[in-house]
Every structure is written in structure tokens, then in C-alpha cells.
Amino acid sequence: MSREFLRVEHSGLRIDPVFAAFVESELLPAIDREAGPFWAGLATLVSELTPANRELLARRDALQAQIDEWHRAHPAPWVHDDYLTFLRSIGYLEEPGAPFTLETTGVDSEIARIAGPQLVVPVDNARFAINACNARWGSLYDALYGTDVIDESDGKARGEGYNARRGDAVVAYAADFLDEAVPLKGASHRDVVAWSVGASAPASAVALLADDREVSLADFGQFAGYSRDGDRLVLLFCRHGLHIELHIDPRHPTGRHARANLADVVLESALTTIQDCEDSVAAVDAEDKVRVYRNWLGLMQGELEASFDKNGRRLTRRLADDRHFLAPDGAAFCLPGRSLMLVRNVGHHMTTDAVLDRKSEAVFEGMLDALVTAACAMANRGRPGRLPNSRSGSVYIVKPKMHGAAEAMFTNTLFARVEQLLGLPDNSLKVGVMDEERRTTVNLAACIHAVRTRLVFINTGFLDRTGDEIHTSMHAGPVPPKEAIKSEPWIRAYEDWNVDLGIRCGLPGRGQIGKGMWAKPDAMREMMLSKGAHPRAGASCAWVPSPTAATLHAMHYHRVDVRARQAELASRTLASLDDILIPPLADTSALSADAIQAELDNNAQGILGYVVRWIDEGIGCSKVPDLDNVGLMEDRATLRISSQHIANWLLHQVVDEAQVETALRRMAAIVDAQNATLPGYRSMSDDFGGSLAFQAARDLVFRGGEQPNGYTETLLHAWRRKAKARARGG
């Protein structure tokens, strides 16, 4: 369907009318700006920075072509030192430079000093965005009762009615956790029959035992404050910067019958939330981009709401209020009721026709994201009595999929130009650098140096990083099955390298060192057993898939003092760059036919399960059941690794096209059966040729090797636009 673009006078830009209406009727009035200077500023930004952006992308392609040619000329096994010499000769490996320390200032404590869980959520879904933001605080009782953390032999988490035995197990588990996090002097929380606030100055929390003994905290300094409403009492404690609330309420259904009238234990959970405009959304045109931007603006204004039907009732989600307390000395204070929000922009390679430049070409979407998301953040004045998102006046923007220091420097330039355009102080726009591309990993210190005045975040992510690893070394040889890749030397070295360089460059006290997502939202017992490794590895935040997971994962940060752990790790030997640069290759002739087929089926089913929702429904992040019907949270990173894996095996003749086609068709029928009960679901296997989702999945596999850096966006966007046109009757 053709659209009539609006030509903005004097700017040379042509603006999609849907996007123009949002900017001029919603965004600019919210920040008291005029349309003319805004469009003129955008035009200047696009005109002056587009050539540099194109050069950076051309540099990516040129380096990849040289690496491909080297591998074709040097079949494995090759001399590793020769490989490193080659990478240096083409400028892929950069000189690390002299040691330095970050210069970032004005960072909120949730990012700079306190370690805790981090949620990533698609900002185009208002309900999910609000839920994530409100996950700053979560009920430990609910999180335990509703998941498999508590043994289910005496009743499932989601069984019929209340299970008293399960409830008792929840209370016991919570008491044991409190004994670790907020220990009492000579007693257990299991033995407390009543709580009170001592009358002395400063006030203290007093626990009464069954034998009428009064006991205090082992560490008086952990008592942070309290609030009282009649006979309801909330006690506030703190450990490693994270807060814990004990809700004493004799009128609450749980508190009425509970020992000490303890109605709930509430944990400060998702300290930070990344509101995502990138991999977890499906924004292919101006209409989609406006939905993304409008929700981010609503979050910044504190006015975003989401209404929906649940169990026959109409519910509305709103942003939570702040929490008010009295300190032990009697002074009133409040804590934020919401996560500190970061926003993830798209990468340098993306374009959008929401705006066309003077040549009628789609502009680079990263430029538009930087300007619009920063402008939206200027509306964060808060409501009366509500703390703003950033108390330091900073705007936190996570930048993904950068390749090397030149691209990080380009981001620094882009952000500086946006600050000038919007009249913001220098370095107001803070940046998070996602270490998910191989050229960024091996040049991480130089990337950090390029943004040293505004960096607040680095992280690792297995899926995207592995996808780029496969694509970079596509012609080196066949890769092992995905699960085996996790055991390759490069992955451990990569994880440690990120932490080591983050510490050496001065991130502790200034920013976050993050770890990747736990993908199984229904396997919380397994998460609790494994994800404690992240704070022990020196990570100050790690991604979780839900508010419930955030509350459970918060317990790990009470058990590990991350700042102390980072201090310990500062003296260890730097992880091996040599190991990072060993591509994960395998002798696939040693794999059985059954093992090869199982890996192919796993990849094909995962691709189809994700793509069918992306193309047909515009859902960028969803819980996709695997072949064992285990729900996995998936976004484009999952798609990238799976499609690149099949493309690699096709290139090296581990599988052939007919085998892949057969697997795709067989897995499509399985995915159709898994989704059969979803309202409006469109089957793929009924008409393979007519299913746009199936055709998109085929493209991602059979054209995967030719996609720049193995990215999936170009193909996904093209097929999604066809699906939207079909739905309109176009």
C-alpha cells in the first residue's frame, strides 16, 4: 500500500504521516519543543552522520570478505599464530592502547553501586513493559509458592485451591533465607512469634521469641526503616544495597494465621529494566515504531497504562507508586517503586522508512532511535510525590551489535550530537555496550575507551555472540552441535575477558557488568541452582525472563557481595585472548546420522516456532516450546544462532538442502500442533507455499550465509511487511 509522505519544509526529509503525527502531537508537546527545529536537527544529523555510518558497515563487509578468503586459502588445521598475524594485518585486531580508567559521572546507584537482577522486556507491549517496571519489588512468598523452587511432590505450584503444606514449605524456605540475609542474634527467624520497633533512639527492629525473649539483629546496621498503618507494620532491612521488607499484618489472609503475623516477605528485585526497541520487538514500519516510541514516552511520563481481561475480569496495569518509610532516626524517606529504566536502541545496521532522507532513502534507524528515545526521556519529570526514573538526570541507552572501537566511537559522536540538538548537558546520554559481536570482544578495551566518558554497562550474551562466531568463521569449517559449542575454550575465555576488562577499566562503582538471559521461565528450581554463578563470576547484573524470576534471583545477590567479589577478581590473570580467537570447529564425521538429524531438527523447530509468531502476529519475543515442549524465551538472538548453524552445516555438507527442506516441513507440522489452540493461528503445514512464515524460515536458513554478520532483520522485516500487506488485503 503506497503512503503519502510529508515533506518537511527546509529539512529535505520526507516523514511518514503516522510518525510525524506522533512527534508533533505527542512527543514535542511533552518536552515543550517546536517541530521546525526538531526536524531541522534530525535532517542535519542524518545528512552529516549517514556517510560515516555507511563506511562502518562497508568496513564490516570488507573484513568479513578477507576472513572468508583467508579460510578458503588455509583449510583447517592452520597455524594459530599465522591466523592472529593475519587478523592484525587487516586491522581486525586493534592495538589495546595504554591502561585507562572510566570517566563516567552522574550515574544512579542502581547501576553504579548496587548489584541485582535485570529484566529485558519488549517496550512495544505496554502490559509487559509496566509489569517489568513494577518488578522492582516482588513477593517472595508468591514467587516460591507459584514455581518449582518448592518441591512439588505435595502439590503442584498451579494446583487447585490453596495447599497448606506447600504454604508451610514456602514460609520455612523464606525463614531460612532471612537467616542468611538478615540474621538474628542467637535465634532463627523460624522461632519469631512477634515483631516490633523498639522505642529507643535510634529505633531498632525487635523480634520476640516463644519463650518471651527479645532478640535483635546480628548487625544493627541492617535495619533501614519502617512504616506503620494501624496494626500493620512493614520492617525494612538492607544487605549489599538490596532491600527486604517484612510485612506484619494480622488482618491479611496469610498474616492472620501466620507465625508473627508475617503476611509476606517482599524483596527488592529487578533493580533495572531494559525497555527494548530491538531484538524482542517486531517494528518493521512507522506504525510499529510509533507504538514502540509511544510506550517509552508513556513510561517516562509515568502515565502508561494497559487494560486487559483476565479470568473474566477487566484489569488495568499502572506504574507503581514509591514506597515511604521512617528511618531509624525518625527521618522520612522514600524508595523508588519502579525499576530504573534503560532503553535499548537498534544497531548501526538497521534502517527505517519512517523517515526518508533527501535521496528518498530510508534513514539509519539507530539515529532516529537515539534522538527520539532521548527526547522521550526528557519528559521524565515524574508526578507529584514520585521519584523520577533517574535521580541524576541521566538517560541510559543500551547500544547493541557494534563491531569494534570505531563503531563505539561513532555511537559516542551520535550521542553527543543528540545532546547538542536537544540542549542536554554533555554526557547526559549514558551508553551500554553489548559485547555480543566477535570484533567488539577482541577489541573490548578500545571500545570502552571510545565511550569512556559515558559508559555504564557492558555484558555478555551467548546467543548473539555465538551467532557472530559462527558467521565470522563460516568458511573455517563445520561447527559442533550448539550444546557442544558451550564447552569450547573460547566461550569461557570470552565470559571471563568481559569481566576482567570491565573491572580493569573501572566499571565497579560506575556501571554494570552483566550476564545473559535465563531462557526457561518455568524452570525456576534449575535457575536457582545455576544462576548464582553470575554474581560469583563478578557480574553486577544478570538477565531474567520474568518478574518472578527477578525476585528469586535477587536472593543470589544477598548471598554474594559482588563488589567484594570484583575486588578479588581484579588481581587474577587476564583471560586468554588466544583462546577467544580459537573458532569452535568440529570433526562432524564423528557424529552419528541420528545426532546430526537431532541437531537439525532442534534448530529447524526453534526457528519455525519463533518465526511463525514474528511474521504472522508481529510478536518479537515469546515463550516458544522446544521439541520436548519446554518453553524457552526467544528473541532474534536465538534465531540468529540457529539459522547460522544450519547455514554452516549446509556450506560444509554436513547436511544437504533436501534434508533441511524435509526437516523444516516435518518440524512445521510439530510447531503447528504446539500452537493449535492459539486463537487465529495460521497453520504452516497446510500450505507450505502460501505460508509467509514458512517461506521466511526457509529464507533465513538457505540465505543465512549471505546475510551480513548473520543478522536476521532484513529477511524478517521483508516477510513481516508482506504479512501486514496481506492482512490489509494488499
Cell numbers for 21: 503525527
Instruction: Give the span between the Cα atoms of 152 and 157, in whole angstroms.
Output: 7
* Strands, sheet with 214-215, edge to edge from the N-terminal-most edge strand: 192-197, 205-209, 214-215
Q: Which of 635, 682, 699, 720 is catalytic?
A: 635
Instruction: Give the span between the Cα atoms of 471 and 476, in whole angstroms.
Output: 10
Instruction: Give the span between the Cα atoms of 636 and 611, in whole angstroms.
Output: 9
Q: Which of 291, 317, 338, 344 is catalytic?
A: 344
Angle between helices 636-651 and 593-617 in degrees, nearest 10: 140
pLDDT on residue 8:
67
Instruction: Give the span between the Cα atoms of 463 and 436, in whole angstroms.
Output: 8
Read off the amino acid at residue 274: I
Instruction: Give the span between the Cα atoms of 242 and 110, in whole angstroms.
Output: 9
Cell 549471505 locates to: 706
Closest to 242 (Cα-Cα) out of 392, 111, 109, 116? 116
DSSP state of 184: B
Are 352 and 339 contacting, i.e. CB atoms less than 8 angstroms apart?
no
Instruction: Give the span between the Cα atoms of 406 and 399, in whole angstroms.
Output: 14
Q: Helix, strand, or coil here: 572? A: coil
- pLDDT band for position 157 (cuts 50, 70, 90): low
b/e map 462-479, b = 16+ CB within 10 Å: bbbbbbbbbbbbbbbbbb
Give the N- to C-terminal CA distance of the chain in Å, as an integer: 6
% residues pLDDT > 90 (the chain): 92
What is the SS3 assignment for 429-489? EEEEEEECCHHHHHCHHHHHHHCCCCEEEEEECHHHHHHHHHHHCCCCCCCCCHHHHCCCH
Instruction: Give the span between the Cα atoms of 449 and 366, in whole angstroms.
Output: 21
Instruction: Give the span between the Cα atoms of 479 and 387, in whole angstroms.
Output: 50
Instruction: Give the span between the Cα atoms of 703 and 683, in whole angstroms.
Output: 23
Instruction: Dump pLDDT digits (tens) for 416-472.
Output: 999 999 999 999 999 999 999 999 999 999 999 999 999 999 999 999 999 999 999
Residues 6+ apart with CB under 8 A from 317: 126, 127, 130, 131, 134, 305, 306, 307, 308
Instruction: Give the span between the Cα atoms of 664 and 650, in whole angstroms.
Output: 14
Residue 499: CB atoms within 10 A of its CB come to 25
* Dihedral sign (CA 688, 689, 692, 697): positive
Closest to 317 (Cα-Cα) out of 109, 486, 131, 174? 131
Are 577 and 497 contacting, i.e. CB atoms less than 8 angstroms apart?
yes
Instruction: Give the span between the Cα atoms of 451 and 104, in whole angstroms.
Output: 9
- pLDDT band for position 6 (cuts 50, 70, 90): low
Are 497 and 580 contacting, i.e. CB atoms less than 8 angstroms apart?
yes
Residues 6+ apart with CB under 8 A from 611: 639, 693, 696, 697, 700, 716
pLDDT of 404 above 90: yes
pLDDT of 12 above 90: no
Instruction: Give the span between the Cα atoms of 652 and 664, in whole angstroms.
Output: 19
Read off the amino acid at residue 160: E
- Which DSSP helix (H) or strand (E) runs through 364? strand 362-364
Instruction: Dump pLDDT digits (tens) for 260-318.
Output: 999 999 999 999 999 999 999 999 999 999 999 999 999 999 999 999 888 888 989 99
Are 110 and 541 contacting, i.e. CB atoms less than 8 angstroms apart?
no
Count of residues in the chain: 730
pTM of the entire predicted model:
0.96
Instruction: Give the span between the Cα atoms of 590 and 594, in whole angstroms.
Output: 12
Cell numbers for 589: 564425521
pLDDT of 154 above 70: no
Distance, CA of 637 to chain centre: 11
* Dihedral sign (CA 302, 308, 312, 314): positive
**Mean pLDDT in residue range 467-479:** 98
pLDDT of 396 above 50: yes
DSSP state of 520: -
Instruction: Dump pLDDT digits (tens) for 172-220.
Output: 999 999 999 999 999 999 999 999 998 888 999 999 999 999 999 999 9
- pLDDT band for position 3 (cuts 50, 70, 90): low
Instruction: Dump pLDDT digits (tens) for 311-348.
Output: 888 989 999 999 999 999 999 999 999 999 999 999 99
Our answer to whether residue 381 is catalytic in this structure is: no
Our answer to whether residue 417 is catalytic in this structure is: no
| Average pLDDT value over all residues in the chain | 95
Closest to 610 (Cα-Cα) out of 660, 546, 674, 662? 674
- pLDDT band for position 1 (cuts 50, 70, 90): very low
Instruction: Dump pLDDT digits (tens) for 576-623.
Output: 999 999 999 999 999 999 999 999 999 999 999 999 999 999 999 989
Cell 569449517 locates to: 477
